[in-house]
Amino acid sequence: MRMVKCVPEGGNWKDIPTTIPSKRLEQIRESFKRGEGSRSTYYGRLRRCDPAYTINTYFSRPGNGCHIHYDQDRVLSPREASRLQGFPDSFEFLGSQGAISTQIGNAVPPLLAYQIAKSLGSPGVFIDLFSGAGGMGLGFKWAGWKPVVANDIHPTYLSTYARNVHDNVLVGSIASKEIFEKLLDAAKIARLDGGPFWVLGGPPCQGFSTAGKQRSMEDPRNHLAWDYVRFLHEAKPDGFVFENVTGLLNMEGGRVFANLREAFSSAMPSIIPSVLSTVQYAIPQRRKRVILVGTRMSHLLEWLPPAPVTSMRSGSAMLASLPNAISVQDALDDLPMLLPGQDGRSLLYRSDPRTPYQSFMRGRISAEEYLRRVGNTILQS
């Protein structure tokens, strides 16, 4: 708490005096002296008028990112972190506190998934692989798509998915022959719908993440990507959406991404990569992700990612035609004041919604209406 109180809005570990004893801070200072990076988000306090930094799985720890509340001396609560990811307040995460933090930090923001889904044309049905808590699936569901089955190796995450998205879930690894065959059976059912059939999901990203010093295909989690490709070959969907961290692009000098793209090309005639930044899609968070869209549908062979709807930074639009980015304060200031360590999920709001984002989070408007209101702000200014 002494450390937290020393960090001003927008500040970080450099604002903490050396008189406060901390082995962790000593390590950070020594690393900084050796030129091993600025660690600029460590012990960081959010700036109210800007979007948040990436919400990671350690948002409950002040020393692992920029997670200190902008005007309260504490880290973000799970309710606040999930809002910054774009999960509505009605979304219920299940499991232990650690499991909830992991589900929130690893999720695809549903609002980003919604805009990707809208860019694919008429809605169809989908199988959700490596689904986690259901951020990708929820966004597609908002866009009118119908879920067939969700698969993940973590039963707790699928319990969250079943509670909030749909209850047809399959626990187990796609690397298992039994699970793989059950997923193929689900693909046959999806085909009976008659509409577009797509596969969603990105394999676990820990091995690809820039958070690790060693990134290599020797990490066994990365081999799940090839099981994903094999499933595409055998299930023969109309398309797929693959999501992962940007560290994938430079892993082993770019060779892994090149090999992965070539493998996907063997299953789909059109493979289109893009890097999307959530801050440009009316989400109050700086989070970049690699998106691969593959399809055999003729009208999507030259698919374009959804057009940005907000600028890269609040208060200084890079494009005059776009509204400012959604800020942390835009997202959170109707939520109750909390004490350090207080969860706050059962507490009442401290005001009516003050922004369109808060109305969206509280279920008063749809994703479509929210984006319409954000787009209208430039016309009103």
Active site residues: 205
Query: What is the torsion angle, in degrees rounded to the nearest 10, for the CA atoms of residue 185, residue 223, residue 59 and residue 101?
Result: 30
What is the spatial distance between Cα 330 and Cα 23, in angstroms, rounded to a whole number? 36
Query: According to DSSP H, which parts of 293-342 are helical?
Result: 328-332
What is the spatial distance between Cα 379 and Cα 381, in angstroms, rounded to a whole number? 6
Single-letter residue type at 90: S
Residue 59, token pair as written in the block: 């948002």
Q: Is 341 exposed, middle or buried (0-12, 13-18, 19+ CB in 10 A)?
A: exposed
Residues 6 or more apart whose Cβ sits within 8 Å of residue 317? 311, 323, 324
Residue 299, token pair as written in the block: 């009208």
Radius of gyration of the chain (CA): 21
